[in-house]
Amino acid sequence: MSEENTYDFRAVERAWQERWEREGIYVARDDDPRPKYYVLEMLPYPSGDLHVGHAKNYTLGDAVARIHRMRGQNVMHPMGWDAFGLPAENAAIQRGIDPETWTLENIANMQRQVRLMGTSYDWTRELASCLPDYYRWNQWFFIRLFEKGLAYKREAPVNWCPVDQTVLANEQVENGRCWRCGAAVERRNLAQWFFKITDYVERLLAGLDRLDGWPDRIRTMQRNWIGKSEGVTFSFDVENVEAQIDVFTTRIDTVFGTTFVAVAPEHPAVEKILEKMPKSRRRVEEFAATLKSKSELERTQLMEKTGIPTGAYAINPLSRERIPVWVTNYVLAEYGTGAVMGVPAHDERDFEFAKKHGLPIAQVITTPDGSLRAPLSEAYLEDGKLIASGEYIGMKSATARRSIAARLEAMGRGKTTVNYRIRDWLVSRQRYWGTPIPIVYCPVDGTVPVPGDQLPVLLPKDVQFTGQGSPLANDAAFVNTTCPKCGGPATRDPDTMDTFVDSSWYYVRYLDAHNDRAPFGKDKASKWMTVDQYIGGAEHAVLHLLYARFFYMFMIDEGYVSGDDEPFARLFNQGMLLYRGEKMSKSRGNVVGIDEAVEKYGVDAMRLFLLKAAPPEDTLDWTDEGIVGRVRFVQRVWRAAEPLADAARAVPLDHLPEMRGDAQRQLVRALHVALDSGMSETETYRFHYNVTTAKLDELINLLGSALREPGAAEDPAVLYVVHALPIVLAPFAPHLADELWSRMGNAGSVHLERWIEPDPAALAVDEITLVVQVNGKVRARIQAAPGIAEDEAFTLAMREPTVTAQIDGKQVRKRIFVPDKLLNIVAA
RNA sequence: GGGGAAGUGGCGAAACGGUAUACGCAGUCGCCUCAAAAGCGACCGAGUGAGAGCUCAUGUGGGUUCGAGUCCCACCUUCCCUACCA
């Protein structure tokens, strides 16, 4: 290799990034008449450094965007920052750095690094959710939801650290203890804001059925998360107590097997019972107190089922049996009615609880043949035939469910109901670094939303971060305000919004990113939505992707945007990037930064490697070995193509070149195979560019061989391939591609060129290898012209000694012929 | 406990039900060089054979099929998600 012909990737890559930026070639225009294509990668949290895990995601999205652009579409490909959240506040608490400064510095650094990757983002649309010109629209949406009754406030339990005097996010509770001070976390009821996602539950479910561009597993996860279950809610009277206990069950057919009623300690009936049962009060309250010190996590995880009898008895409305009412730790106050009928014989949890506390186990369902009889060694969960159930004896479970439900309904004691596992979205956070909730509390006017012309409610600066309590609640200058209605003294809501609010609509803000009168204009939003291809990790399968769908349905309903009510037509789940077997993340401290990789190997080599190493949906364990192969590839391309750049430009690309022999035909074919691979991987949404890079390798290997032949520098086929090289490389190695393109004397960027349609004539082969099998095993391969007839193939095959040796003495029973592929001779 | 994904050379991996191991990494040998690096070329699943070849190999065991890495059933292993939802 001569010194002067080494590709200087450092200089070249930087120069092209600057030029692309200067010329704005990736800016998406609203008035572009070509069909739109919106490709979006999930926006990152600005943790400080971009690592190769991010790079894996963005490289894929960028290849998709570039191929669509070269295929003649008006591509929208924006980028922004999910910039609110806890790490910034922790930096403030631990190191005294202002959260805004910390975040904006991180964004600046990461934005530099994303640019370093040469990705084709339209930076004119960049957004950062922590800036007032973004979060004011969070507040605007909050008020719209409030006006529609979809944002409401009620008491809800939160994780409370008694030492730090603050609410903790679930992620900050480690084994029931505060992550910072180690104190046992308590459950407290605080007034919190909720978004009423449950109003949209049926639509969210129905939409999933239509989203066939989404992975099944994500759709399944969302369905499970929503957790729809149909059953019966009915009520028990409590003996001598003015209270009814409602329970929800999906197995009303087992109601005669109820041997106890279990309630959550928070259940309102508990207090009424205790008024009548003063002797039980102390024990029940002590029990409740031991539960209270535990977070919901701890309460629901791996915990033994315990409980305490209240002393009261409920009456089974159908059997009229007296059954004890227990307060237990395994009934969730937040789901259903906060009480369940305990049927040990037919529910695993009830069985475990009954065993432990010596409660009776009454079998009421048996196997269809009636063979299953007490005593049961475990709960029988299947449907079956009813026994010991009064007038319902002998019925099948399904029939009994209908009959019993009808009976309870007729008695006015119950009705069929649907319950959902999903709860309303709790959006209040007792935290500083988020969007202030735009609500004022007035002693006269009550809960008053901040009027639109007073938005945004700005986050105050110079707040004290002590880690004690909520910073906003402690800031009198922020909290004390005047009522927008009456002008009298009032207080602001001291909480901020869950950052998932920010990411629920950002993909629409990109489409009109600088609008200061509305979150976005309807025309612009409607022109570009929906997102054609969304790309991101599966970790957002339920939260972000469910919230965003809910938000978008609301936007459609309110007419803010028109079109389909699903925001993401297709979703692609990137596989995780691991390092040393663990997820790469800053908090784990196992981050491979991209600055070093780019400096050492070059961006194009890194991008090619990330695509080549594995199919994009696979988990990839990062290793530096292997990337040198892509560095070699980049240099090989350069050495092959650059010297011929001048000569190659003269060979037109709009038709196939003169091909003087087999070698030339193979070379041109390899080019079209690579073109075809890049295109079809994109159009089938498979995105297996690892295969496309292999085709590029084969192309360059053939080109290298061709160049060693005398006269190669004047061979039209060689020059044609060299001329086309920048185009086929452009989506994957954009800098190298544009540098070669410009060396060919082109003034414009190769990224604005058209992809070359794979030509069937170039893809055709003039000789095929026909596989000859005997009884399914390969015995010979014969070279033949395409389209060879079965009889002729058979004749040729029977001349092969390796074939006849296997048939020897046997009769040919059957022939299977796959044209141009295979002949299988079945002999016996 | 529930749900999902995946198991192919030393490694990353490829393969519309039809030539298993493309392409790359690592390795071995050679060319070039005073030497090295880079580059270029050849080889590179296991067994057997002088060789043409033959036999065995896609986690394990069955099945469907002319033919199975691919489809079906059971099991083993790994990873991810979720978790008392009545």
A678-690 residue pLDDT tens:
999 999 999 999 9
A149 and A46 co-located in one domain? no
Backbone angles phi, psi at A58, to 5 degrees: -75, -30
Residue whose Cα is closest to the C1' of B23: A694
C1’ B67 / CA A820, Å: 16
Task: Decide if A25 is inside a domain.
Answer: no
Task: Decide if A22 is inside a domain.
Answer: no
What stretch of H or E contains A292?
helix A278-292
- The answer for A333, left when phi > 0, alpha when psi is -120 to 50, beta otherwise, is alpha
pLDDT band at A179 (very low <50, low <70, confident <90, very high): low
Signed CA dihedral, A451, A453, A456, A461: sign only: negative
Average pLDDT of span A629-655: 94
pLDDT per residue as tens digits for the range A362-407: 999 998 888 888 788 888 888 889 999 999 999 999 999 999 999 9
List strand B contacts in A 328-347 (CB < 7 A): 329-332, 335-338, 340-341, 347
Strand partners, A315: A237, A322
Task: Decide if A628 is inside a domain.
Answer: no
> Can you tell me whether residue A664 is helix, strand or coil?
helix
How many domains are there within chain A?
Answer: 5
Task: Decide if A389 is inside a domain.
Answer: yes
Reference A50, options A131, A115, A94; nearest CA is A115
C-alpha distances (whole Å) from A751 to each of A13, A637, A814 are 14, 18, 54
Q: What is the DSSP letter of A576?
A: P
Of A120-129, A177-186, A460-469, where does mean pLDDT reach its minimum?
A: A177-186
A461 and A477 co-located in one domain? yes
Structure tokens at A594: 């991209």
A782 CB closer than 7 A to any strand B atom: no
Task: Decide if A605 is inside a domain.
Answer: no
In angstroms, rounded to a whole number, what is the distance separating the alpha carbons of residues A524 and A108? 28
pLDDT per residue as tens digits for the range A279-309: 999 999 988 887 765 544 444 445 678 899 9
A568 and A659 co-located in one domain? no
A383 and A285 co-located in one domain? yes
A254 CB closer than 7 A to any strand B atom: no
Task: Decide if A630 is inside a domain.
Answer: no
A349 CB closer than 7 A to any strand B atom: yes
In angstroms, rounded to a whole number, what is the distance separating the alpha carbons of residues A814 and A71? 47
Contact between residue A305 and residue A329 where contact means Cβ atoms under 8 Å apart: yes
Residue A1 is predicted with a pLDDT of 37
In angstroms, rounded to a whole number, what is the distance separating the alpha carbons of residues A311 and A276? 10
- Asked which of A436, A463, A497 is the last residue of a domain, the reply is A497
CATH number at residue A686: 1.10.730.10
C1’ B47 / CA A802, Å: 21
- Asked which of A372, A390, A420 is the last residue of a domain, the reply is A420
A264 CB closer than 7 A to any strand B atom: yes
Task: Decide if A597 is inside a domain.
Answer: no
Reference A719, options A783, A792, A650; nearest CA is A650
Of A70-84, A172-186, A680-694, where does mean pLDDT reach its minimum?
A: A172-186
Backbone angles phi, psi at A508, to 5 degrees: -90, -35
pLDDT per residue as tens digits for the range A241-253: 998 999 999 999 9
Residue A577 is predicted with a pLDDT of 84
CB atoms within 10 A of CB A496: 26
A568 and A513 co-located in one domain? yes
pLDDT exceeds cutoff 60 at A522? yes
Spell out a b/e string for A98-121, using b for 16 or more CB atoms within 10 Å of the CB, else e: ebbebbbebbeebbebbbbbbbbb
Q: For A114-135, what is the HEC assignment?
A: HHHCCCCCCHHHCEECCCHHHH
List strand B contacts in A 808-827 (CB < 7 A): 814, 816, 818, 821-822, 824, 826
CATH number at residue A806: 3.10.20.590
In angstroms, rounded to a whole number, what is the distance separating the alpha carbons of residues A643 and A89? 55
C1’ B26 / CA A626, Å: 9
Q: Domain of A665?
A: 644-763
In angstroms, rounded to a whole number, what is the distance separating the alpha carbons of residues A137 and A143? 10
Residue A212 is predicted with a pLDDT of 86
List strand B contacts in A 695-724 (CB < 7 A): 697-698, 701, 704-705
pLDDT exceeds cutoff 60 at A175? no
The CA R_g of chain A, rounded to the nearest whole Å, is 34
A439 and A399 co-located in one domain? no
pLDDT per residue as tens digits for the range A448-481: 999 999 999 999 988 888 777 788 988 999 999 9
- Estimate the share of chain A in helix, then strand, then coil, as percent rounded to the nearest 5: 45, 20, 40
Contact between residue A327 and residue A270 where contact means Cβ atoms under 8 Å apart: yes
A317 and A388 co-located in one domain? yes
Average pLDDT of chain A is 90
Residue whose Cα is closest to the C1' of B25: A626
C1’ B34 / CA A644, Å: 34
Please enumerate, as own/partner, the contacts of A340-343 that have beta carbons within 8 Å and a separation of 24 or more: A340/A247, A340/A248, A340/A249, A340/A261, A340/A262, A340/A263, A341/A236, A341/A247, A341/A249, A341/A255, A341/A258, A341/A261, A342/A258, A342/A259, A342/A260, A342/A261, A342/A262, A343/A251, A343/A254, A343/A255, A343/A257, A343/A258, A343/A259
A152 and A46 co-located in one domain? no
Residue A296 is predicted with a pLDDT of 46
CATH number at residue A275: 3.90.740.10
A619 CB closer than 7 A to any strand B atom: yes
A799 and A672 co-located in one domain? no
Of A109-113, A216-220, A229-233, where does mean pLDDT reach its minimum?
A: A216-220
What stretch of H or E contains A491?
strand A489-492
pLDDT exceeds cutoff 90 at A588? no
Peptide bond into A786 cis (omega under 30): no
Residue A702, burial from CB neighbour count under 10 angstroms (0-12, 13-18, 19+): buried
Reference A335, options A424, A250, A421; nearest CA is A421
| ipTM greater than cut 0.85 | yes
- Asked which of A567, A589, A611 is the last residue of a domain, the reply is A589
Of A122-126, A255-259, A800-804, where does mean pLDDT reach its minimum?
A: A800-804
Task: Decide if A345 is inside a domain.
Answer: yes
Tell me the one-letter amino acid at A800.
E
C1’ B65 / CA A801, Å: 27
In angstroms, rounded to a whole number, what is the distance separating the alpha carbons of residues A259 and A255? 9
Tell me the one-letter amino acid at A816.
I
CATH number at residue A527: 3.40.50.620
List strand B contacts in A 625-654 (CB < 7 A): 625-626, 628-630, 632-633, 635-636
Tell me the one-letter amino acid at A608.
L
A260 and A308 co-located in one domain? yes
In angstroms, rounded to a whole number, what is the distance separating the alpha carbons of residues A257 and A362? 5
Residue A90 is predicted with a pLDDT of 83
Residue A104 is predicted with a pLDDT of 96
Q: Which residue has the tokens 């066939």?
A: A212
A779 CB closer than 7 A to any strand B atom: yes
A102 and A150 co-located in one domain? no
Q: Which residues fall within 8 angstroms of residue A816, CB to CB, at 6 or more apart?
A: A822, A823, A824, A826
Q: Which residue has the tokens 């540098």?
A: A739
A224 CB closer than 7 A to any strand B atom: yes
A481 and A435 co-located in one domain? yes
Which nucleotides of strand B lie under 7 Å from a protein CB? 3-5, 12-16, 18-20, 22-26, 38-41, 52-55, 66-68, 79-86
C1’ B28 / CA A706, Å: 27
Structure tokens at A516: 């200061």
C1’ B8 / CA A130, Å: 48
Strand partners, A340: A262
